[in-house]
Amino acid sequence: MSKNLRLCEVADVKDGEPVAAFAEGMPALAVYNVDGEIFVTDNLCTHGNAMLTDGYQDGDVIECPFHGGSFDIKTGAANAFPCQVAIVSYPVEIEDGWVCITKP
């Protein structure tokens, strides 16, 4: 049975300042605010051992801190070389002011 996992409070995620989040049984996660809308992706870059929350958010793009690759925050698609493999993007639900995803 799937269940909602609470990651962090919506109020803690500022536009342009992604937040690292952890949930049991899940890989490291990144929570973003893009113009007031919340998105969640895997935090680990698919090119190397970098946490995207250490990178730079520009609108709906997250740039990896290591080699300049980037991803689309809304879809997880790889945007810029050397990133070629998408990161996982999770459907988000807001529950009592908390950012939640459903554990697959």
Q: Which residues bind ligand FES (CB under 6 A)?
A: 45, 47-48, 50, 64, 66-67, 69, 82-83
| Cβ atoms of residues 47 and 64 within 8 Å | yes
CB of 5 to ligand FES, least distance (A): 25
Could you please report the per-residue DSSP string of 31-61?
EEEETTEEEEEESB-SSSS-BGGGSEEETTE
CB of 55 to ligand FES, least distance (A): 8
CB of 52 to ligand FES, least distance (A): 8
Nearer to ligand FES, 13 or 45 (CB): 45
Nearer to ligand FES, 56 or 66 (CB): 66
Nearer to ligand FES, 67 or 103 (CB): 67
Separation between Cα atoms, residue 70 and residue 51, nearest integer Å = 12
Q: Which of 42, 40, 47, 41 is nearest to 93 (CA)?
A: 40
